């Protein structure tokens, strides 16, 4: 599989994707030399093999027409559509998005027309919630049902929610679609996993297209609890729909709830058995992320080869993890390590079942929480960083 990112910036997302699938090729181009250097430095340090180019889109197009680029299975870009001009990326684009002289908005129909000229055809929004009519205004349901074509319905949906930024998927016209039986078989073989430990999913808040909401814990809690079983190992849809706690849920309703939990960031699709090469690449990249985040004592991210994306981890939890990776086995030792690194450690305080604790005791309390709730999850998700100087 070959993947191309147009305008990769600092190369963070591109390098993360490359780490989580070392069996594929990840390419990208960006016009700014300093951004290309930064992205290449991260790729080289982590040994990811990302193919990072430093060409404008016009130069890349010339290479493609000369047969000097391979075919790509997936091509992605971020918000650049709205601010590059029709010819290219001029040097003056440093003003970037809203200050750029070429900044313009585009209706989905306009983007679709341009994409069609490159044999790309609109398939769906990448935001699952935007495809659910139940989250559109009630008085527009009938209008959506009678719109003659897909793009007209998308235009109405965008107006309904006053949409400022779309995330859409286009496909080549020769892609074949699955019949109902094939579709269900593929879904049955899809694996899901949680994107955070269960103890962090207590509010079940979710951002809807028109409002903020809270999911009913009676409907969604059991799914999360099942996914947390057996130390959070990924579970297939076939497993979920036959599980004793979930088997009474109708098939379409289970899919709907999984859709909502995915959209809310509580769960995601998973690859249950990433290759050792991929696991090793993620460990190396996570070592770099840990070193960067702990120096700044801020929230960081770790890459999961199982989820194929990042997991947010607070700064001192990253330091607990580093102590664990470096051979320190007891939470009390992790707490001491972190306490000595934090300049304001003596002022730290936490509420516990036994009352408020401060200083070193506060870190000891958090270290025990980390061991009980977070470490088992991180181990299953494969995000443990490599120890310093190791692969």
DSSP assignment of 247-306, as one string? TTS-HHHHHHHHHHHHHTTSEEEE-SS--HHHHHHHHHHHHHHHHHHHHHTS-EEEEETT
What is the rounded CA–CA span in Å between residue 28 and residue 45?
A: 18
Q: Which two tokens mark 290?
A: 């840990």
Give per-residue pLDDT as tens, 25-62.
Answer: 999 999 889 989 999 999 999 999 999 999 998 899 99
Helix H or strand E encompassing 26: strand 25-29
Pairing between β-strand 205-207 and β-strand 212-214 as defined by DSSP bridges: antiparallel
pLDDT of residue 391: 43
- Three-class secondary structure of residue 15 per DSSP: helix
Nearest Cα to Cα of residue 297 among 313, 316, 310, 312: 316
Q: Which CATH architecture has domain 2-176?
A: 3-Layer(aba) Sandwich (3.40)
pLDDT in single tens digits along all 391 residues of the chain: 999 999 998 899 999 999 999 999 999 999 889 989 999 999 999 999 999 999 998 899 999 999 999 999 999 988 776 666 555 575 554 455 555 566 677 888 989 998 898 888 999 988 888 877 777 777 777 788 788 888 988 888 888 888 878 889 999 877 778 899 999 999 999 999 999 999 887 788 888 777 788 999 999 999 999 999 999 999 999 999 999 999 999 999 999 999 999 988 999 999 999 999 999 999 999 999 888 876 765 558 899 999 999 998 887 888 889 889 888 889 999 999 888 877 666 777 777 787 888 888 888 998 999 999 999 999 999 998 876 654 4
How many whole angstroms separate alpha carbon 377 and alpha carbon 375? 5
**Torsion-angle region of residue 308: left (phi > 0), alpha (psi -120 to 50) or beta?**
left
Domain ranges of the chain: 2-176, 181-265, 276-380
Per-residue pLDDT, 344:
66
Residue 390: the pLDDT is 46
**Looking at the chain, how many residues does it have?**
391
Per-residue model confidence (pLDDT) at position 165:
82
Q: Roughly how many angstroms between the first and final C-alpha of the chain, as a whole number?
A: 25
By three-state DSSP, how is residue 79 classified?
helix
177 φ, ψ (degrees, to nearest 5): -100, 150
Tokens 């109708």 found at: 250
DSSP alpha helix (H) spans, the chain: 12-20, 33-46, 57-65, 96-99, 108-116, 141-146, 150-160, 180-188, 217-227, 229-232, 237-242, 251-263, 276-296, 315-325, 331-341, 359-369, 375-380
């Amino acid at each position: 599989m070959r993947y191309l990112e147009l305008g990769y910036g600092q190369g963070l997302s591109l390098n993360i994707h490359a780490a989580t699938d070392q069996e594929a090729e990840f390419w990208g181009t960006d016009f700014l030399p300093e951004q290309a250097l930064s992205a290449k430095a991260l790729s080289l340090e982590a040994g990811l093999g990302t193919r990072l180019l430093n060409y404008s889109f016009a130069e890349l197009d010339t290479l493609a027409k000369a047969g000097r680029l391979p075919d790509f299975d997936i091509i992605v870009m971020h918000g650049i559509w709205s601010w590059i001009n029709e010819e290219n990326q001029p040097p003056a684009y440093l003003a970037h998005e809203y200050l750029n002289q070429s900044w313009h908005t585009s209706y989905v129909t306009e983007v679709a027309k341009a994409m069609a000229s490159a044999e790309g055809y609109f398939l769906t929004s990448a935001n699952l919630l935007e495809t659910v009519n139940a989250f559109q205004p009630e008085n527009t349901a009938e209008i959506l049902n009678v719109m003659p074509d897909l793009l007209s319905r998308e235009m109405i949906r965008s107006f309904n929610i006053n949409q400022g930024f779309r995330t859409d998927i286009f496909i080549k016209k020769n892609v074949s679609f699955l019949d109902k039986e094939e579709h269900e078989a593929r879904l049955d073989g899809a694996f899901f996993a949680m994107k955070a430990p269960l103890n962090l999913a207590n509010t079940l808040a979710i951002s809807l297209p028109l409002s903020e909401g809270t999911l009913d814990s009676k409907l969604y809690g059991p799914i999360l609890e099942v996914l947390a079983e057996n130390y959070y190992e990924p579970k297939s849809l076939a497993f979920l729909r036959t599980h004793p706690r979930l088997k009474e849920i109708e098939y379409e309703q289970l899919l709907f709830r999984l859709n909502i939990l995915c959209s809310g960031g509580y769960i995601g699709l998973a690859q249950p058995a990433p290759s050792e090469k991929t696991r090793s690449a993620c460990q190396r990249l996570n070592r770099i992320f840990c070193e960067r985040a702990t120096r700044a004592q801020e929230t960081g991210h770790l890459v999961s080869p199982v989820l194929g994306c990042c997991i947010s981890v607070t700064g001192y939890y990253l330091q607990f993890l580093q102590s664990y990776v470096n051979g320190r086995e007891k939470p009390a030792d992790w707490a001491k390590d972190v306490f000595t690194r934090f300049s304001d450690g003596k002022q730290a305080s936490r509420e516990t079942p036994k009352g408020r604790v401060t200083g070193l005791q506060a870190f000891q309390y958090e270290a025990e929480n980390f061991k009980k709730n977070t470490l088992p999850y991180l181990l299953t998700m494969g995000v443990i960083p490599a120890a310093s100087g190791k692969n």
